[in-house]
Amino acid sequence: MSDDGKRRWKGPPKEKQQGSGRRMSERKIIAYNAKDESSKRWIERQLTDPYVQRAKKDNYRARAAYKLLEVDEKTGLLKGAKRVVDLGCAPGGWIQVCQRRGVSEIVGIDLLAVDPIPEAHIVQGDINEAEDVAKMMEGLSGPPDLILSDMAANTTGHKQTDSLRTAALAETALWFASEHLVQGGNFCSKVFQGGATPELLGDLKRMFKTVKHVKPPASRAGSPELFVVALGFRGRS
């Protein structure tokens, strides 16, 4: 699940969304009413973030949609994809991107509940639970040709700990890909600053023809996140 999904601000009531935008005084009032300093900073950032505004305009559920769009622009990740798995799919922005890019079948899984998306098969469950995975895969007519993972552990504020925890989720996603991805398929996973661990990078290079790291512009400058993109699955060896 993306950070946007964990604390995604849904905006003011519709009747207050008219006009060219909120005045600075209104933004300050909203931030002032937040419960703590962290929430105040988050709300202020959401109110002024151009990607948040674009997401509302383009009807994406979260600004994270633009991360996938920008990764695709740089790598061609989504080209030709027809059956897609989205791991950690809440709140559903990446599913929306895939559908708009012509993906015919898409399934997703997340520990959190996700509001339904037409033509998408979404399961609330754990990727480590075989029963949940089997339920998710029922939504595909065959092996996926693209596996996406925006999974991220809740951050602790300790950079090394956060990086290791997110790397562990990336390794889980790669294990899943090695079990399910069709030959020639593609893979993308979130990692933290420093990129994939040497072990993960070695596995990726062995299993795929091309491996690269991408920092999309939509990823906030202060965020440690990167995305590792692997193209051309060769199979486990």
Catalytic positions: 190
CA distance 196 to 34: 36
Dihedral over Cα of 61, 189, 70, 136: its sign? negative
Burial class (CB in 10 A: 0-12, 13-18, 19+), 77: buried
> Tokens at residue 88, please?
């950690």
Contact (CB, 8 A) for 187 and 150: no
Distance CA 28, CA 41 (A): 11
Q: Which amino acid is at 18?
A: Q
SS3 content of the chain, % helix, strand, coil (to 5): 40, 20, 40
